Amino acid sequence: MRTLHLVVSVLFLSTCFAAAQMPSTLTLMPVPAKIQLGAGQLVVDQLFTVALTGAKDARLDTGIPGFLDQLSRQTGMPLNKDSGDSTKATLVIRCENAGRKVQELGEDESYTLEVTAARATLTGPTPLGVLHGLQTLLQLVEPTPAGFAVPVLTIHDEPRFAWRGLLIDVCRHFMPLDVMKRNLDGMAALKLNVLHWHLSDDEGFRVESKKFPKLHEMGSQGQYYTQAEIREFIGYARDRGIRVVPEFEMPGHSRSIVVGYPELASQPGPYPPGRVARDATALDVTQEKTYKFLDKLIGEMAGLFPDSYFHIGGDEVNDKPWNSNPKIQEFIRAHGMKDNRDLQAYFNKSLEKIVSKHGKIMMGWDEVLHPDLPKTVVVQSWRGQESLATAAKEGYRGLLSNGYYLDLMWPAARHYAVDPMSGAAATLTPEEAKRILGGEACMWAEYITPETIDSRVWPRLAAIAERFWSPPDVKDPQSMYLRLDEVSWRLGWLGLTHESNYVPMLHRLAGTEDIRALRVLADAVEPTKDYTRSEVFPQPPVKTVPMNRLSDAARPESAVARRFAELVGTYIESGYKDSAAEAQIRAWCVKWQGNHPTVKPLLERSFLLTEDQPLSEDLATLSATGLQALDAIGKNQSLPEAWRAEQLAVVQRSMQPRANVVVMVAPSIQKLIEAASPQTASHP
Amino acid sequence: MRTLHLVVSVLFLSTCFAAAQMPSTLTLMPVPAKIQLGAGQLVVDQLFTVALTGAKDARLDTGIPGFLDQLSRQTGMPLNKDSGDSTKATLVIRCENAGRKVQELGEDESYTLEVTAARATLTGPTPLGVLHGLQTLLQLVEPTPAGFAVPVLTIHDEPRFAWRGLLIDVCRHFMPLDVMKRNLDGMAALKLNVLHWHLSDDEGFRVESKKFPKLHEMGSQGQYYTQAEIREFIGYARDRGIRVVPEFEMPGHSRSIVVGYPELASQPGPYPPGRVARDATALDVTQEKTYKFLDKLIGEMAGLFPDSYFHIGGDEVNDKPWNSNPKIQEFIRAHGMKDNRDLQAYFNKSLEKIVSKHGKIMMGWDEVLHPDLPKTVVVQSWRGQESLATAAKEGYRGLLSNGYYLDLMWPAARHYAVDPMSGAAATLTPEEAKRILGGEACMWAEYITPETIDSRVWPRLAAIAERFWSPPDVKDPQSMYLRLDEVSWRLGWLGLTHESNYVPMLHRLAGTEDIRALRVLADAVEPTKDYTRSEVFPQPPVKTVPMNRLSDAARPESAVARRFAELVGTYIESGYKDSAAEAQIRAWCVKWQGNHPTVKPLLERSFLLTEDQPLSEDLATLSATGLQALDAIGKNQSLPEAWRAEQLAVVQRSMQPRANVVVMVAPSIQKLIEAASPQTASHP
């Protein structure tokens, strides 16, 4: 019976899709390289079993039960965990080779998933491919009229880039290991394969050092990972096909180092412990003892972190501490250097020797680029795409992070449009282009806490993950958003809190159960963008600023504002004829206009919300304006320029950060204003 | 400055409330025994500190940091954990005596909380009182225009009953320790003080036994707690002022015992492992080896569980296995007993000697009541309130559970109306009445999983907790619901998932992101009540039935249906004049009527939802009926009896379980139907 089904379904295999045209019934993310969709489906019920054949690898021994746990969680079906007979199992996995002892950059991550009505077969040349294939399978399981099922199909998949990373900063706000782990689970679900762990910065040194215990004892405010915890965490990452690359910042961003070891600083100190504003600490790189210290420290950390790559930071070295130390300036002159840039290059060259000596390949932010820099160093470009192309031309391998800063609160589509191979990189020769290894999204932690990090990383990171994995022609933002919305709630099964923390945070703000009106407001706003957020700096004995305002609860990208913008776009593109769109626009405007009187008492009652009153007022005003504009458009009237100017002032004000929040429906209202009051030719 | 504030605020202490008239600005639950509300408030900011004076107790060493963690979580403010100077601390705690080594029934649990504008002072004669007072304080912290704050007040509080329990059945569905712990946290927040742990039943023996390892090895399907885990868990409970009373079921409900030890059964067996329908296993209580076994087992468990009370079950002993064993029937005759009831009494008497020998006080369900039963035994009444009064009259101490079965899916108000001292107990003499120790809510686990248990326990348990703690005149259901709604979201800070799991489960049902229409349906239904739920019994190799339907996602008590019922009540009581209520009733009916076409495609697409189509159709029909009724009432028309009969049939059908769900707005629609079509006198 099963054999017959197999034959029949193969005969039906008819539709072959290029990746960019993935069938709309599938919500896979990232889009696989190749999909052939057949007819029929494989039912996934409680008799589901898995059989493993081929090479053995410890990652599959944890990965397959992990897959079954996840399948059980997302379907709500208890499943049998015993491994199945390969002639009868629902899912037969063939892993062709065991993986490397330490996961390496560029290992084959491809897989083939064949689903018939009788069974699924997953083949991978390595355990990494198998792990990715299992994640694809999890995304394919959907409830159908006949039960949970996976469509009959064949997927051949492989990543576009070998380095697909996420940086998490645990210095500005410390992130406990459970927070880190659930984010690793999310990364694995999206086929990301590098966690770049930003472990030291001015605000904290987050690793236990046995050689230099004053690093974590004095430089961490008690918030650090023990070496045992780090080993366990790296194992957790490895089980999910994720490499862990540590970063220790030097010579700048190094205050947490000199708190315990002031003799390494360019200025005498003292450096009292505790969080500080971004200051101008730099190691004294002219003295021998600095290098002795770093040799020992890097030796210790190289033993702790098995990955071949080791990130030394190297960004934003402030001139002040070097300039004001005559001994350092004398060193620069004596060694025939031009300036501090040259001194940093001298440092990097020396550092590279230390890092190499300990068996690692050095990485640094793009400031490390300098003619003296050894070509083995991998350059991470954060200041612009040009530096990535420049580095590739000069022979360096590189990663793109510019355009992928999650802390800037951009919409997913803006990150999605950034391609590591576009811009200056588009002109590279094939050989140069190969040096671009991929990219990394960055989650800097000035304004996030364990409570809010997930909502800042997810779901937007999924769009970036697709950019790194899927073929370059997969770039339609509309398709991306459809799938992003699906991925977002599915990520909740991993324990990620980006969805589940929203309502509790609104309850806290209001201090009450009925938050409906507050939610209408919160849904229509976003945290302010780029580097416009301001925060009162904490005064002792208070150490940290609470992150418990509307700007922390509001999502980086408002789905309501996005859908409202789509409606307005549809309406305008229809030549104002789409009456269904118009009706929906009206309904939203009426709702927002009426919301202010309802939400006002809440805003007045809670000190956490008082600051948001002008935003709510402006949302109501903008909505009234939108309704006026619709009326005028409907009557084919043109509203006067004075009206236009007045309304545009409200739009502009609404997009300025107030209480670190912007009213995100304002740009759509602006379009309606402009449509209702077209400028005359004499006012270009 | 602080002293001055203190004086001023004491002068303002003017309003004194009996507990039943708690000021509506406070949402305390359970309502304290006495509250005096003053003027002003104590600001709770990041400078908040705690100082402990008086007796030392390990529970305060964990309880105070736990309180600070919880305060930090609910406010989103990082707080300093260092203990404060008692002359300057915001909260000064005075614990007058250290507690007993093992928490005992009847220890003083009272506390006094005095809050001035300068500081809070919490005094308790024991650590238990202090722990309760800290929970009260957490409920008092609210955002105000001037920051988080606690109103100036004085609370003297103490429990009405000494035994305030929750039974959790971990046999029908096993509950991992993290699930158990978050429920302990919830219990502590509501001042409950006994976890009754139902650890053995037909379906599983959930404790590691070193003396009889086949109990957990063969009788648990691998799902049991190790002794180390149990010890750790009991410590966790103790830290929260909660006693852990274990229950081992005998002589019935004992299949999991005889799986490994068939020689103890009344019938020869074999008893293959695995879950079974409620069957008729009973221990053979006529043979010496059964008592030898129980002596050893109870000895082992008495050492593991430090509490003085030990529950032996004793309910629902099925006659069949005893009747069909001639040796047992011969024993009954030979010992001059009348029947199986007498045999169980004989068993209980022997068992009580064993339990006492191991230093414990025996407890049993009300079937144990028999003239031969020693008076030391505590009787737990589940079959009715009469047995509780009977037991008290006969000299037994007792607990009420009848009326508090959470698995019956009753509304909170119905549980709330049950009082241990009402009914037959109201006629007890003061001395007899003292024998009623309190009560226990029961969470039987046939139809719950770790995913759904929280939503079945919470928030309804809070109403029962208030019944056990607060003075008897605290019984207004409207006030209770106001506070229940507040408590519900606050419990989310403890990690309880009753709120947060709802939307994910709806996503699973629909398999899609847009669940708005499904939510409208789910909000208006409830799981079927009492013992009407039916489930297909699993066939091997499948072991367990998935609990992933609408009946599992739907809340036991629909807040929407409750509020709709209030609206209809208001409208009718106003003599159909309250036009605001009428408008809201209309709005709901219009929404529900229009929801069916929207939700239909979702219901058709998912096998998990297909069964719910008739419910959605009936919700739409009922809504149309409601609108017709409103129209008729508005026009002062009476609709014909044929119409009435037809509509009432839909109401009746809607309240019958289908897919284990009832349409909970039906009874309110029924009221509208009856109002629009009053029966004539000739049709009584």
The CA angle B87-B91-B95, to the nearest 5 degrees, is 90
Q: Quick one: closest CA in A to B494, which residue?
A: A504
Query: What average pLDDT does range B300-310 have in this prediction?
Result: 98
Residue B89 token pair: 């601390």
By three-state DSSP, how is residue A105 classified? Answer: coil
List CB contacts (< 8 A) between B552 and chain A.
76
Q: Are strands A142-144 and A147-157 parallel, antiparallel or unpaired?
A: antiparallel
Report the pLDDT averaged over residues A271-292.
84
Q: Do A145 and B605 touch (CB under 8 A)?
A: yes
Comparing A613 with A9, the larger pLDDT belongs to A613
Q: Is the pLDDT higher at A317 or at A627? A: A627
Q: Name the residue facing A542 among B47, B76, B493 (closest C-beta).
A: B47
Active site residues of A: 316
Q: How many CB pairs under 8 A join A and B?
A: 119
Would you state the pLDDT for residue A153? 97
The pLDDT, as a whole number, for residue A270 is 87
pLDDT at B14 exceeding the cut of 80: no
Q: Is the pLDDT of residue B133 over 90?
A: yes
Is the pLDDT confidence value at A309 over 60?
yes
Which residues 120-159 of A are in CB contact (within 8 Å) with B? 142-148
Flag whether residue A75 sits within 8 Å of chain B, measured between CB atoms. Answer: yes
Selected residue of B454, B542, B602 to mutate for chain A interface (largest A Cβ count, 10 A): B542
pLDDT interval class at A80 (50, 70, 90): confident
- Chain A residues whose CB is inside 8 A of the B507 CB are 489-490, 492
Closest CA to B220 of B238, B239, B207: B207
Chain A residues whose CB is inside 8 A of the B80 CB are: 541-543
Look at residues B42, B103, B169, B249 and name the one whose alpha carbon lies nearest to residue B457.
Answer: B169
Q: CB of A462 within 8 A of CB of A139?
A: no
Report the distance separating Cα B345 and Cα B370, nearest Å: 6
pLDDT digits (tens, 9 = 90+) for A515-565: 999 999 999 999 999 999 987 767 777 888 999 999 999 999 999 999 999
Chain B 530-589, CB below 8 Å of chain A: which residues?
A: 541-544, 546-548, 552
Would you call A548 and B75 a contact, using CB atoms and an 8 Å cutoff? yes
Find residues 426-445 of chain A whose CB sits inside 8 Å of chain B: none
CA–CA distance, A257 with A200 (Å, rounded to integer): 8
Rounded CA-CA distance A656/A651 in Å is 9
Structure confidence at residue B542 (pLDDT)? 80
Q: Does A611 touch chain B (CB under 8 A)?
A: no
Q: Say yes or no: B178 contacts chain A, CB-CB below 8 A.
A: no
Closest by CA to A591, choosing from A665, A647, A648, is A665
A503 interfacial to chain B (CB closer than 8 Å): yes
Q: What is the pLDDT of residue A273?
A: 75
Output the 3-class SS for A171-229: CCCCCCHHHHHHHHHHHHHCCCCEEEEEEEECCEECECCCCCCHHHHHHCCCCCECHHH
One-letter amino acid at A342 equals D
* Residue B499 in contact with partner chain A when CB distance is under 8 A: yes
Give per-residue pLDDT as tens, B188-200.
999 999 999 999 9
Find where tokens 């919300």 sit.
Answer: A609
pLDDT at A10 (0 to 100): 35
Distances from the Cα of A469 to the Cα of A37, A132, A420, angstroms: 20, 11, 12
Mean pLDDT of chain A: 93
pLDDT at B680: 62
Chain A residue numbers with beta carbons less than 8 Å from the beta carbon of B458 are none
The pLDDT assigned to B30 comes to 98
A222 near B CB under 8 A? no
| Nearest residue in A to B510, CA atom | A143
Q: How many CB atoms lie within 10 A of CB A289?
A: 11
Partner-chain residue, chosen from B145, B511, B604, that has the shortest CB–CB distance to A610: B145
Across the range B71-91, mean pLDDT stands at 90
pLDDT tens-digit series, residues B149-187: 999 999 999 999 999 999 999 999 999 999 999 999 999
Mean pLDDT of chain B: 93
Position A278 scores a pLDDT of 57
- Of the candidates A143, A489, A546, the beta carbon closest to that of B78 is on A546
Range from A9-23, B58-72, B120-134 carrying the lowest mean pLDDT: A9-23
- pLDDT (0 to 100) of residue A535: 78
For A202-236, the pLDDT digits (tens) are 999 999 999 999 999 999 999 999 999 999 999 99
Tens digits of per-residue pLDDT, A2-18?
Answer: 333 333 333 333 445 55
Question: Which residues, in sequence order, are bridge partners of residue A663?
Answer: A525
pLDDT of residue A73: 97
Residue B617's Cβ-count burial label (10 Å; 0-12, 13-18, 19+) is: middle
Q: What pLDDT shows up at residue A680?
A: 62
Instruction: State the Cα–Cα distance between residues A652 and A663, nearest whole angstrom.
Output: 10
pLDDT, tens digit, for every residue of A362-411? Answer: 999 999 999 999 999 999 999 988 999 999 999 999 999 999 999 999 99
What is the interface pTM, i.e. ipTM, of the complex? Answer: 0.93
Answer yes or no: are the C-beta atoms of B245 and B310 closer than 8 Å: yes
> Nearest CA of chain A to the CA of B122: how many Å?
24
∠ at Cα A185 (A183, A188), nearest 5°?
110
Q: Residue A226 region, left (φ>0) first, then alpha (ψ -120 to 50), else beta?
A: beta
State residue B327's pLDDT score: 97
pLDDT above 80: residue B46:
yes
Output the CA–CA distances (angstroms, integers) from residue A602 to A527, A550, A588, A612, B39, in the order listed: 20, 13, 21, 10, 22
Chain B residues within an 8 Å CB radius of A547: 76
Question: Which residues of chain A are within 8 Å of residue B47 when distances are taken between CB atoms?
Answer: 541-542
Cβ–Cβ gap A606/B144 under 8 Å: yes
Residue A395 CB neighbour total at 10 angstroms: 13
With an 8 Å Cβ cutoff, are B542 and A46 in contact? yes
Bigger pLDDT: B18 vs A184: A184
CA distance A535 to A172: 14
The active-site residue, picked from B96, B142, B217, B316, is: B316
User: Is residue A684 over pLDDT 50?
Assistant: no
More confident site: A6 or B315: B315
The angle subtended at Cα B239 by Cα B235 and Cα B240, nearest 5°, is 120
CA distance A396 to chain B (A): 43
Contacts of A177 (CB under 8 A, 6+ apart): A225, A229, A233
pLDDT above 50: residue B311: yes
Closest CA to B153 of B114, B110, B111, B112: B114
Nearest-CA distance A24 → chain B (Å): 13
* CA distance from start to end of chain A: 73
Nearest CA in chain A to B141: A511
pLDDT tier for residue B8 given thresholds of 50, 70 and 90? very low
Quick check: B12 pLDDT over 50?
no
Q: For the residues B613-619, what does the mean pLDDT come to?
A: 98
Rounded-to-integer distance, Cα B348 and Cα B364, Å: 9
Interatomic CA distance for residues A245 and A199, integer angstroms? 10
pLDDT confidence of residue A276? 60
Contact between B617 and B592 under an 8 Å Cβ cutoff? The reply is no
- Who wins on pLDDT, B290 or A273? B290
Q: Say if strands B142-144 and B147-157 run parallel, antiparallel, or are unpaired.
A: antiparallel
In the structure, what pLDDT confidence band is assigned to residue A49 with cuts at 50, 70 and 90? very high
Say whether residue B513 is in contact with chain A using an 8 A CB cutoff. Answer: yes
In B103-193, the DSSP E strands lie at 111-115, 120-124, 142-144, 147-157, 163-169
- Closest CB from B145, B507, B510 relative to A604: B145
Lowest pLDDT segment from A310-314, A369-373, B406-410:
A369-373
Give residues with Cβ within 8 angstroms of A682, minimum separation 6: none
Are A647 and A632 in contact, with CB atoms under 8 Å apart? no
Record the tokens describing residue A295, joined without a space: 């040799």
Name the residue among A78, A143, A546 with its Cβ closest to that of B511.
A143
Residue-level pLDDT at B9: 34
Q: What's the pLDDT at A87?
A: 87
Sequence-ordered list of residues with C-beta below 8 angstroms from that of B229, at least 6 positions apart, any chain = B177
Residue A11's pLDDT is 36
In the numeric block, the tokens 């219901």 are attached to B603
- Cα separation of A558 and A232, whole Å? 37
Q: Is residue A37 pLDDT above 50, yes or no?
A: yes
CA distance B148 to chain A (A): 8
With residues binned 3-state (H G I as helix, E B as strand, rest as coil), the percentages for chain A, rounded to 5, are 45, 15, 40
The Cα diameter of chain A in Å comes to: 85
- The phi and psi torsions of B4 (rounded to 5 degrees) equal -60, -50
pLDDT at A100 (0 to 100): 94
A485 and chain B: CB distance < 8 Å anywhere?
Answer: yes
Tell me the residue ranges of DSSP E strands in A574-683: 661-663
Contact B443, B449 (CB under 8 A): no
CA distance from start to end of chain B: 73
Tell me the per-residue pLDDT of B440-478, one tens digit each, with 9 for 90 and over. 999 999 999 999 999 999 999 999 999 999 999 999 999
